[in-house]
Structure formats: C-alpha cells, structure tokens
A and B are shown apart, each in its own frame.
Chain A
C-alpha cells in the first residue's frame, strides 16, 4: 500500500458505535472487530477521498507525532484490513 492509495470502506463494511461495550466496532461479513482508540481514529478518517498519505499527515499534525511513524502505523493497519477485504483501496 503506497501513500497515494485511497482507502475506502466497501459496501457491507461499516463502523458501529457499540453502546453495550462502549467501543467502536468495525462490522463486516462474519466480522465484528473491536477497535482500539488508534484503529477507531484511523478508520474515522477513511472517506474514500483522501489518500493514506494525506490521512497520516492530518493525524500526525493533530496528535503532534512524527509523520513517518504515523504513516507506517496507518499503512500497516489498513493493509491488514485490506488483506481481509474489510478495506478496499483505489489508486488515485
């Protein structure tokens, strides 16, 4: 996954606020993935418009963290989901 890749949640995959467990969950086919804070923050940025690089840049600025570190985390997280078809990527 390159920084130019544009991630999107495919149809049938969505974020859900779980009131019982007080957590954000990624719901998909046979999947209910409880997200930690970082995962939830990243996925809330995924809008099908901005690239991985742009999302990482925004998050780095927001949290005052080094851009390359954030970038690596974002790529690793989204790549793992893409392998499971929970995130699709297009190349803008």
Chain B
C-alpha cells in the first residue's frame, strides 16, 4: 500500500513549562507534571523554533502550564519572531505585568490568548483555585487593550459555568477581544480525572449552541466566536488535531515531541525528544507520529466509512481513555460499538446528581526522604 503523503505541520504548541499558579481541574496537562529542572533551556527552544519554521510551521503557540512562569519568556518570543513564526501567547495572565507585556510587544509578540475561568471573582477563583486571580486577569486585560495587543478570550466551559455563556460573551466584548473561544472541556489529563465534576448536561449544551448561533450573527464583523462543543454529546467525533501527525505537533516542557496533548496516555508509543532529535526527522519519520497517520491503522468500520477523511476515526486518546484501546473507533461515533460505554458514562455523570468535588491540578508533593 502507498505511504500517505505527509504535509509539513502548520502549527506547533510549545508547552514551555508545567508550572502554573492556577490549579484548574479542567486542565489538559498530564497528571504527571514536568518538574522545573527538566525544562528545556532558552537556547534549545530557540533552535527548535528555527527548525520548526524551516519545517513549515507557521503558527507557534507558547503555552504551558503558565508560560509567564518562565523568566525568559520575552527572549523566547524574540527567538520565535526571528525564526519567522506567528507567535501567540496562551496565558492565564497570572505572572504578567504591564512592564512584561511591553517587553513582549517589543519582542514581537503577535497575539495573546487570555483564559478566563469564570465571569465573576467567586466562580473564577474557585475554578482556578487561586484567590484574587479574577481581579488580576481583569487588570491585565485592561493593559492588553491599552497596549492594543490583539486579544482572544479563551473560556473553557463546563457544568459550572456554561450557564454564564451570555455574560462570558459580553465580557469578551467589554475587554475588546476580537475573538472568543468557547471551548467546552475536553476530557484529557486533569479534566479526565474531573470528568464527573465537569460534565455538562444535555440541556446546557443545547442552550449553549443556540446562544452561540445567535451571537455569531449579532457580532459578525466585530467579534469572531469559535465554539468547541463537548463531543460526548455529538454524533460523530472531532477530527482530533486535524488528523494524527498531519497539521500540528506539541512539544512538552522537557522536549518530548507529541502528536497531541495526551499522546503519552497511549501505551507502547515511542516518543523522541527535540533536544536530541531533529524536528524534521521526528515529524516525517518518528514512530509516534507514524503510528496513527493515514488510514492503515483504522478499524474496518472507519476504513470503509464515508467520513474517514473528515474525522479520521476521531481521537486516539479518547478511544484509549474510554475503551482502553487506542486503535478503536472513537467512542463518540454513533456507529462505534463503544458508544454504549460512553452513553453509560453520560447517564451516570452528565445528568447524574450532585457533582463530586474538584481534584485540583497540582504537582505531586515531593516524596518524603
């Protein structure tokens, strides 16, 4: 069988650090958080950015954890721009100041994506697990507006804040955001741990879809609304990462190159590190990137389906998380024999009684000597 043609990646997500002042239970970071000592150096990242640009990456997302926890963030932005990358900072805002924003602008930062955990201090600080966080975010947002930095507001929505969607859209307008991402929580990493606490109800989801459709019309040309519906309630899976190893890659704080956020939950995949392997080899020849590229790996059900090249069989990590089999059809799919498992989870969690307490995202306490 012919090898699938592999295009260069468009986007790279650089998880600069797993350190973060916040402790969001919906965080997609892995349960095993990377320690500061394992983080890549400024120089290694700079080289990786150049390799990425040469490979064809256009968009660089500086993420984490909280990227501002790195004191060299301003230098990293400069290196990214020097490499020719469109540079987007994904931040909670905590750890940034006006002076740091000014330095980031001087370094060439193109765009900021600021997360909000809620529209009021009470809920925002409870979800972020960080008192005073909301007020600091709002202060930072006013500096962002004042400095004219293009802003996207990022709101991860779930059972506890989906009913505030209209107020969330209003907040984005007030802050002068050009875009808002209303991303219903995706169950990976800490979010998966907290699934029962976060799973919205079908009513909440239906209402949110209506509100988004109406708001899109009303704000056309003023604010772009991106909506990521919660896929457990969908009939077909999302095209995760636009297809495995086809449009983008993630690099973890220690340099591990990942086809997606949660790829490390899949047993048996061999990952390479950008510190020791060239990005071009990782992308085109790396075993982890080849594992689910194209259609050969797919079960018969997907191979013969007319949506094969639309959703690529869905998310491998979700098949792993829900069915324990990374090569299975995504259990979100109505045609999947695994759908019953997902529906049982939804019945138990989405419409179930009181939500359990959050398990906050925190690094493992050090093992006592």
B95 within 8 A of A: no
By a CB distance below 8 angstroms, the chain B residues around A62 are none
A29 & B178 in contact (Cβ 8 Å cutoff): yes
A16 & B84 in contact (Cβ 8 Å cutoff): yes
CB-CB contacts of B101-121 with A at 8 A, as 1s and 0s?
A: 000000000110100000000
Residue of A nearest to B179 (CB): A29
| A29/B111 contact (C-beta < 8 A), A21-B8, A83-B220, A85-B178 known | yes
Specify which of A20, A25, A27, A82 is in contact with B221 (CB 8 Å cutoff). Answer: A82
Residue of A nearest to B152 (CB): A29
Complex Cα distance, B11 from A30, in Å, reads: 9
A11 & B88 in contact (Cβ 8 Å cutoff): no
CB-CB contacts of B71-88 with A at 8 A, as 1s and 0s?
A: 000000000000010101
B148 within 8 A of A: yes
B58 & A27 in contact (Cβ 8 Å cutoff): yes
B168 within 8 A of A: no
A30 & B221 in contact (Cβ 8 Å cutoff): no
By a CB distance below 8 angstroms, the chain B residues around A21 are 8, 56
Best-buried of A11, A14, A28, A29 by chain B (most CB within 10 Å) = A29
B223 within 8 A of A: yes
Complex Cα distance, B56 from A16, in Å, reads: 12
B215 within 8 A of A: no
A27 & B59 in contact (Cβ 8 Å cutoff): yes
Specify which of A11, A16, A83, A84 is in contact with B86 (CB 8 Å cutoff). Answer: A16
CB-CB contacts of A20-39 with B at 8 A, as 1s and 0s?
A: 11000101111010000000
Chain B positions within 8 Å of A, measured between CB atoms, are 8, 10-11, 54-56, 58-59, 84, 86, 88, 110-111, 113, 148-150, 152, 178-179, 220-224, 226
